[in-house]
Amino acid sequence: MKNTFFKNKSLLSGILIICVILVIDQVSKIYIKLNYPITIYSNEAIIDWGFFKLLFVENKGMAMGAKLNDIIPFLPEKTSKLLLTLFRLVAIVGIGYWLQSLYKIKTSVYLRWSLCLIFAGALGNIIDSVFYGLIFSDSYGQVATFFPDQGYAPIFFGSVVDMIQFPLFEWTWPTWIPIIGGQDYLFFQYIFNIADASISIGVAILIFFNKKIFNQNEKIESAVTP
């Protein structure tokens, strides 16, 4: 009875983590989409507190705006976008399968929570990529409408909504440094969303608590192995 209760309680906490992150992520994105046009430059920030900016950009690629056809130049942009979305779908299925298997045994709470965060973040961005092109109109120079007669892109070709930036430090690299010398640099220049933050926190938990995670898993495996 105690083991069953533990599994049910831990499963409910995992589902709660995923649902809370998904709701916050999607509500924030939908709010931005339905209230603001795309902000092309940082001086058009919706909120600008210096160290924090609320913007609205759409990301057609991966993290930090990278695209698959940047890595594989001969790929057409549409093919690159479709392959990226399909890869994300396959990845989320794999993460989901791994996650549900962890709740069948008493694994490290750090591992379960980190995968819940990664799963929720990945799912949040997949929703954008798969459905946003259908359910929103274009946001360039105008505020998007919800469920228009025709969306801005077909299914699987939507863009991920990014809006958060923390431009904490800005400096110019010394001229004696090769390649980047004399260039201005902003930390942190990348614009992200709640889903991205969730994935990053999940990965950080895996990195910082890896010894606890894998030591506990080894003890569990040795205990169940005859």
What are the tens digits of pLDDT across the range 172-196?
A: 888 888 888 888 888 788 899 999 9
Q: Is the pLDDT of residue 106 over 90?
A: no
Neighbouring-strand partners of residue 48: 53
User: Which is more confident, 25 or 66?
Assistant: 25
Which among 25, 128, 184, 196 is annotated as catalytic? Answer: 196
117 CB neighbour count, 10 Å cutoff:
25
Which among 70, 128, 162, 184 is annotated as catalytic? Answer: 162
Quote the number of domains for the chain: 1
Of all residues in the chain, the percent with pLDDT exceeding 70 is 85
The pLDDT assigned to 138 comes to: 94
Rounding to the nearest 10 degrees, give the CA dihedral for residues 209, 214, 215, 219.
Answer: 140
The pLDDT assigned to 5 comes to: 46
Q: How far is CA 30 from the centre of its chain?
A: 15
What's the mean pLDDT when you consider all of the chain? 85
Alpha-carbon gap, residue 135 to 159, rounded angstroms: 12
Pick the closest to residue 54 from 201, 208, 166 (CA basis). 166
The pLDDT tens digits for 69-102 are 656 767 777 888 888 889 999 999 999 999 988 8
The pLDDT assigned to 1 comes to: 46
**Active-site residue flag, 149:** no
Rounding to the nearest 10 degrees, give the CA dihedral for residues 99, 115, 111, 11.
Answer: -50
**Active-site residue flag, 184:** no
Domain boundaries, position 67:
2-189+196-224
The pLDDT tens digits for 210-221 are 877 777 655 555
pTM higher than the cut 0.95: no
9 CB neighbour count, 10 Å cutoff:
10
The pLDDT tens digits for 148-166 are 999 999 999 999 999 999 9
Is the distance from CB of 111 to CB of 102 less than 8 angstroms? yes
The pLDDT assigned to 181 comes to: 83
Neighbouring-strand partners of residue 187: 169
